[in-house]
Amino acid sequence: MKALSFALQDYQTRIESVLDRVLPSPEILPMRLHEAMRYSVLNGGKRMRPLLVYATGGALGVAPEVLDMPAAAIELVHVYSLIHDDLPAMDDDVLRRGKPTCHRAYDEATAILAGDALQALAFQLITQAHEHLSAEQRLYMLQQLSFAAGSRGMVGGQAIDLASVGKTLTELELEQMHIHKTGALIRSSVLLAAYTVPDLPEKQLNQLDYYAKCLGLAFQVQDDILDIESDTQTLGKTRGADVAAGKPTYPSIIGMSAAKRKLNELYLEAVAALEGLNAPLLLEIAEFTVKRVR
């Protein structure tokens, strides 16, 4: 496993503290629900989306405390999506981030409610963002996050994914599915940080957005590869689950060699998109994405 730099490790530590602070205490009613929320969010995951928020903000000269709430919000939406994706009505998985999925650790109804509550809390956090941010900036961020999480973003991608089980998709159809399902939140992570900068030049915004688009697709291609070549312990989720469920993947559609070439091409495009920007941590995240398992 390729290690992250100390700078990104510091951000990982920071977001863990922020998440712990913003999540309701398990001692507050309803206690079981709050316990399930904390179980699903804390002590697990690479925190890639919050890292993208901090790394993008750092490249634009934004202080970490201004980025805390957007970083936490995007992670809460991501975890909500994982809880719901794992449910019996969807992917019916038993393992997530190396431990039993929420509905296995608690029960199905509690898992559904935990996901619902995390999504609502995410939008609340945007409204409570740093006082440095204007009301207009917060509205842009709310609009961006709601679009990315909705039917034309992540949820829509999951709907396409479920409808594609057992079917043969073209490469373009598969790409469109993943641009929605995985890519939307990754792009949103970068854009939320960009919106903390008033009057950011359009050229820089477009560069960052294209970087995130390439990175989001690269992340999914790598996931498809690792689902075949890695193991359950390393992945923290059931190896081979997508293949077993009859889901279309890049290796199944274009072959493993072509999938690996596509992964490298997307990485190079992501790197090229950052030309002229002082964004070493964004470059590191792109490299980490394509080299998560050696």
**Tokens linked to 176:** 């469109």
Is the peptide bond preceding residue 88 cis, with omega within 30 degrees of 0? no
Task: Tell me the per-residue pLDDT of 237-250, one tens digit each, with 9 for 90 and over.
Answer: 566 666 666 788 99
Whether 294 shows a pLDDT value over 50: the answer reads no
Distance separating alpha carbons of residues 78 and 90, to the nearest angstrom: 16
Does any domain span residue 245?
A: yes
Query: Does residue 23 fall inside a structural domain?
Result: yes
Total domains present in the chain: 1
Tell me if residue 149 falls in helix, strand or coil: helix
Q: What is the mean pLDDT of the chain?
A: 93
Q: State yes or no: pLDDT of 236 exceeds 70.
A: no
For a pLDDT cut of 70, what percent of the chain falls above it? 93
What mean pLDDT do residues 17-36 have?
A: 98
Domain that holds residue 40: 6-290
Q: What mean pLDDT comes out for the span 28-45? A: 95
Structure tokens at 260: 């690996």
> What is the residue whose two structure tokens read 């750092």?
58
Query: In the predicted model, is pLDDT for residue 1 greater than 50?
Result: no
- Within a 13 Å sphere around the CA of 32, how many CA atoms are in the beta-carbon half? 11
The full DSSP string for 243-274 is HHTT---HHHHH-HHHHHHHHHHHHHHHHHHT
Say if 45 falls within a structural domain.
yes
In a domain, 1, yes or no: no
Query: What are 100-138's pLDDT values in tens digits?
Result: 999 999 999 999 999 999 999 999 999 999 999 999 999
- Residue 104: CB atoms within 10 Å: 16
Question: How far is it, in rounded angstroms, from Cα 153 to Cα 193?
Answer: 18
Q: Which CATH number fits the domain that encloses residue 98?
A: 1.10.600.10
Structural domain contains residue 206: yes
Residue 214 is predicted with a pLDDT of 96
Distance CA(214)–CA(197), nearest Å, equals 22
Whole-angstrom distance, CA of residue 128 vs CA of residue 257: 47
Is 231's pLDDT higher than 80? Answer: no
- Predicted pLDDT at 229: 86
Average of per-residue pLDDT across 181-206: 96
pLDDT of 155 higher than 60: yes
